[in-house]
Amino acid sequence: MPGNIPDEIWLFRIVHIDNLPFLLERGMFASTHPDKDPDYVFIGDTKLTEQRRHYPIPLEGRGHIGEYVAFYFGHLSPMLYNIHTGYRGIVQRPQSDIVYICCTLGTIEAANCNYLFTDGHAKQRITQFYKDKSDLEQVDWDIVYQKYWRNDEEDRDRMRRKQAELLVKGHVPVSCIDRLVVFDDESKHAVSPILEKLGLNLDIYVNPKGKFYY
């Protein structure tokens, strides 16, 4: 069931390390945006992503999921697990290639970004969409932070709720990025020169408390 809303709401987006030079210079773009990275290295479920591009948001005038940049409210997503293991036919990649882009809802709002959010995976039929910040209480804040999210006899809806999303229309500017999280020190050494070249003063955290990677 939904828990208490955190005082500070963090947002997490996982990307391939090769995408950093573009997105740290120009920001993050929705998959249907004309200014998106033409060389974007895709790491997710190709079939699901294509379905999301055209999946209508059940709120008047809000368009399709493909028009939004998606973030999770929690880390250790099922998608990262699938990327790590190659489960369900997803291209298997080392976790050292995967970087977390971390923002807060506060910075998204400060940038006047148009956003909405869900109480679970956005492509699931029973998932509810919201645009009023007061409805953040509908997110299951206990499960989004949990490491173990598999459905079982006691809870057959756990995995959907774990994947609650915040969706930002069109573009997320670089100013919204608060920090980066990487898998290991080698990954940090690969990312640091990118920040230096762009003159960005962003902290890079290596798998804090061992809670961001499988």
Catalytic residue flag (residue 50) = no
Question: Is 165 within 8 Å of 122 (Cβ atoms)?
Answer: yes
pLDDT at 202 over 70: yes
Q: Dump pLDDT digits (tens) for 44-103.
A: 999 999 999 999 999 999 999 999 999 999 999 999 999 999 998 899 999 999 999 999
14 is in an annotated binding site: yes
- Cα separation, 16 vs 33, in Å, equals 19
* Residue 8 falls in the annotated catalytic set: no
Residue 2 has a pLDDT of 61
Q: Residue 32's closest CA among 65, 76, 8, 78?
A: 65
- Residue 78 has a pLDDT of 96
Amino acid letter at 169? K
Which of 8, 52, 88, 109 is the catalytic position? 52
pLDDT digits (tens, 9 = 90+) for 94-152: 999 999 999 999 999 999 999 999 999 999 999 999 999 999 999 999 999 999 999 99
Per the residue annotation, which of 156, 165, 186, 196 is the catalytic one?
Answer: 165
Residue 15 annotated as lining a ligand binding site: yes
C-alpha 144/C-alpha 130 separation (Å) is: 17
